[in-house]
Structure 1
Amino acid sequence: MRLLTPNSVEATMLAADQPHAPAAIRIDLGAIFVSMELSKSTWLLTSLSPGAGERMSKHTVGAGDIAGLFDRFGQLRAKAKRRTGQDFGVIVIQEAGLDGFWIHRVLEREGIESHVVDPASIATSRRRRRAKTDKIDGEALVRALLAYKRGEPRVCAMVRPPSVEEEDRRRVCRERKVLINERTCHVNRIKGLLFTQGITAMNRCAAIGAND
């Protein structure tokens, strides 16, 4: 049995902590893969197209500009056809977030395959641990989508977008909870203000109001 010296233990730990280079990209799935990073002002698109090797390209469209988004998809398809002589569909991925699912629904209505991913499910190295609010970069999203489409296990968790009706029902429940919490905060604030004036019971307050 060979014992590890302190130097060899340290070298092993350092090697294990080194960030791994991204694996080579397989682009034989016959589609254009696009990630969308959404913000209030712009949408950043990162795309990987057949015939372009492993090089990803980035483009921007104005936030909410659906026509501009579809124009960009058309340009990507035209470029891929010029390079390969074939037509390719577009597969899109975006993070679940404040924008909800309306973009996903628009894409699906136009016949575009769309996926919404839980950002917390995408693995990151220990050296690149993110804050909960940090966004996944576009290239990482494209790689996750590629691995997901190849059927690799435990790559990421796709969110099942609810129907419009389901979303409306959930919103009613959420809004009710929000209103109840707000009411509790206001009641407690009023109680605190009354306490500073020597009034310690709400029924006393009600009695004063009734006598006024």
Structure 2
Amino acid sequence: MRKITAGLFMSLDGVIADPQDWHFPYFDDAMGAAVDAQLGSADTLLLGRVTYDGFADAWPDREAEGGPDAVFAKKLGDARKLVVTHQDRDFPWRNSERLDGELTEAAAALRNEPGGDVAISGSVSVVRQLLAEGLLDELHLLVHPIVVGKGQRLFAEGTTIPLRLLSSETFGTGVLHVVYTRDEAAPGGSYDDAKAHLVQE
């Protein structure tokens, strides 16, 4: 079965909006390797319309310019790109098409197809829906040591989704790379259970 993974840049206060305004000072070799492992190694990208449009406006030109980011740009260009949208439109970036059908059903079908991983970048509405339905295998968060103070957050108010930590790494910049999955066997408990673990004088 193929894995569906999602990667997002996040501030310490949970903001994922407009990372171009705050995350570049923290981008180093370690973060580049983490992004490449999650996004650049996938053979299929699942993107919301807004994220797709932003990528399509930038990455083809970067590939054509042949700069230091051209190799990564080519990986994105060569990948199959499925766009989650209700609009009937053209997709100018090569290997791009609209995702057919309802998101969760189509994502479940994607997981059962042969091939490599399916990667999501940004696309918060897609991530939220798949995580809620238990269809997101890995949630990669690159948590930056900065408080942004405004902007969209990954989790909407009132959201409760138990998660299990798969791995964590601290970069030299102070960025935390944490990987979670849904915890279908999340523990229960109350204060009465917790207080037994308080230090006793």
TM-score by length of 2: 0.25
TM-score by length of 1: 0.24
Greater C-alpha Rg: 1
Q: Which has the higher strand share?
A: 2
Q: Which has the higher helix share?
A: 1
